[in-house]
Amino acid sequence: MSEEKRTDKTIVVFSADLDKVMAAFNIAIGAASMGFECSMYFTFWGLNVLRKENAEAPVKKKDFMSKMLGVMMPKGPKKLTLSQMNMGGMGTSMMKMRMKSKNIMQLPELIKMAHSMGVKFLACQMTMNMMGMEKDEFIDDLSYVGVAGYLGAVEKADCNLFI
Amino acid sequence: MSEEKRTDKTIVVFSADLDKVMAAFNIAIGAASMGFECSMYFTFWGLNVLRKENAEAPVKKKDFMSKMLGVMMPKGPKKLTLSQMNMGGMGTSMMKMRMKSKNIMQLPELIKMAHSMGVKFLACQMTMNMMGMEKDEFIDDLSYVGVAGYLGAVEKADCNLFI
Amino acid sequence: MSEEKRTDKTIVVFSADLDKVMAAFNIAIGAASMGFECSMYFTFWGLNVLRKENAEAPVKKKDFMSKMLGVMMPKGPKKLTLSQMNMGGMGTSMMKMRMKSKNIMQLPELIKMAHSMGVKFLACQMTMNMMGMEKDEFIDDLSYVGVAGYLGAVEKADCNLFI
């Protein structure tokens, strides 16, 4: 493979801050719409972006700490808050209203659009292990990978961001 | 264009934390002084770095929410605070005194120097729309672009950071 | 040198949050185990990761502000806390216990492993100057560089992250 062919983009989504995750998806969608392959690697807090809102946690299997983490961390994109000016949720709500009135796509729509445009979602297996999360708590069409899987995507990329 | 020629650097300045923005400019200036082209894409909170300190907001045109956001967010580089140890502003003030005594350039000087060395400043149009900001609130010599403009700069770069 | 040979990775470790620093080392170790050269550039808060736990500060030489900064900032990897859910240290302690029970390597082990695998540690000289830190406060085998040293490593890299 010649180096000239490297045009993919990768984004490590480490954060679960609404503003940072929206920036990640806006870049990914921009890249996809320009015809570039794009992989997003969701790790640590960022893995919460991929949680299903109404997933029944497989309660029996979970130990106490896993249950508690599952409750404390945001369950899907609608639960994310701003990294700044959250003000107990009020700032986040106001910014969402604002984006709606300005016809700016909200995060759940951004995720659907990225998926429909072929952006690849990689879920970090080590984080799942650490947080005690199971595959049936996540949205569909994920690849479950380790850091080697992420670095594999990097090998075809000319732009790699950590968000 | 051959891949060998890719030596530009791009930096997404998403944050408006004083420490992170200073790191961004130090890298940009370092790259420029080594002869590399460098583009900084200011988006979300980072767009506040480019606001003029004394800009008269075009008040009539602004809706209530835009005015409020304009007041709540930092108006230019002198208003930025540290991401850690800010301690109600005291930590930031002390760090600035410290940098002065150590002959470390402050942010306003870094911005001027980067500009004079040819570092390109790209302002995110979507953020301007969301925050209700107008061009006359910003410093001069900016390019107003969308995410496609940023990704265009990436195509000539061999190093792309998100800060 | 042909562009095809660029396979190194560089990571700017700006943050001293336990979770982010662990992510940085996991990526570095993953890259090293796949045979890639990897350089980590510790700057600003991130420089604290490299501090020796029991270093005797060369007290006589230090001015008041340097001493105070030395006390306020975390002294080595064991003192780092989570960026989220720290809860006055309780969250960080619980997450460490959790990682232990899941056989996930802790940060001090990650640092040792990265070092033994040949990952290069670059310490930012400007940060040392700003924070008033001396070489004998840091672990061994560091390279002391400026931003030009970091950008030199970038020239051989195909993946550059800012964490």
* Shortest Cα–Cα distance, C42 to chain A (Å): 16
Indicate whether this complex's ipTM tops 0.90. yes
What span, in angstroms and rounded, lies between the C-alpha atoms of B136 and B24? 24
Residues forming a β-bridge with B13: B42
* Across B144-153, C16-25, C56-65, C73-82, least confident range: C56-65
**Per-residue pLDDT at A5 exceeds 90:** no
Its sign, for the CA torsion C25, C26, C32, C36, is: negative
Measured CA to CA in angstroms, residue C10 lies from A96, A160, C37, C122, C151 at distances of 36, 11, 9, 10, 9
User: A48: Cβ–Cβ under 8 A, 6 or more apart, which residues?
Assistant: A16, A73, A74, A75, A76, A79, A80
Query: How many CA atoms are closer than 13 Å to the CA of B56, on its beta-carbon side?
Result: 3
**Per-residue pLDDT at A3 exceeds 70:** no
Over residues A15-43, the pLDDT tens digits come to 999 999 999 999 999 999 999 999 999 99
Question: In the predicted model, what is the mean pLDDT of residues A148-154?
Answer: 97
Its sign, for the CA torsion C77, C83, C87, C88, is: positive
- Are residues A45 and C20, on separate chains, in Cβ contact within 8 Å? no
pLDDT at C5: 76
Q: Evaluate whether B49 touches B76 at the Cβ level (below 8 Å).
A: yes
Residue C83 contacts B where some CB pair is shorter than 8 Å: no
* Shortest Cα–Cα distance, B130 to chain A (Å): 6
Question: What's the predicted TM-score (pTM) here?
Answer: 0.95
Of A3, A158, A162, the CB nearest to C4: A3
What span, in angstroms and rounded, lies between the C-alpha atoms of C113 and C120? 12
Helix axes B18-33, B107-116, angle to 10 degrees: 30
**Per-residue pLDDT at A154 exceeds 90:** yes
pLDDT at A1: 44
Residue A104 contacts B where some CB pair is shorter than 8 Å: yes
**A86-95, long-range: CB within 8 Å, 24+ apart, which pairs?**
A92/A18, A94/B65, A95/A18, A95/B130
- The total of other beta-carbon atoms located within 10 Å of residue C158's CB is 23
Residues of B with Cβ-Cβ distance to A36 under 8 angstroms: 151
Q: Which chains touch A (3 or more CB pairs under 8 A)?
A: B, C
What span, in angstroms and rounded, lies between the C-alpha atoms of C109 and C142? 17
* Shortest Cα–Cα distance, C3 to chain A (Å): 7
Q: Evaluate whether C151 touches B30 at the Cβ level (below 8 Å).
A: yes
Which amino acid would we find at residue A74? P
Mean pLDDT, consecutive 10-residue segments, chain B of 163 residues? 75 98 98 98 98 76 88 95 92 94 95 98 96 94 97 97 98
pLDDT at B62: 87
Q: Is residue C25 helix, strand or coil?
A: helix
Query: Percentage of chain A surpassing pLDDT 90?
Result: 87
Name which residue leads in pLDDT, C143 or B87.
C143
- Are residues A102 and B129, on separate chains, in Cβ contact within 8 Å? yes
**Per-residue pLDDT at A61 exceeds 80:** no
pLDDT at C4: 58
Measured CA to CA in angstroms, residue B46 lies from A67, B125, B130, C79 at distances of 36, 12, 13, 30
Residue A23 contacts B where some CB pair is shorter than 8 Å: yes
Residue A18 contacts C where some CB pair is shorter than 8 Å: no
- The total of other beta-carbon atoms located within 10 Å of residue A14's CB is 26
pLDDT at C60: 66
**Per-residue pLDDT at C57 exceeds 70:** no
In chain C, DSSP assigns E strands to 8-13, 38-42, 120-124, 143-145, 157-162
Dihedral over alpha carbons B20, B22, B25, B27 (to 10 degrees): -70
What span, in angstroms and rounded, lies between the C-alpha atoms of C95 and C82? 9
Residues of B with Cβ-Cβ distance to A158 under 8 angstroms: 6, 154-155, 158
Mean pLDDT of chain A: 93
Over residues C77-118, the pLDDT tens digits come to 999 999 999 989 999 999 999 999 999 999 999 999 999 999
pLDDT at C1: 44
- If we measure between CA atoms, which residue out of C119, C122, C129 comes closest to residue C145? C122
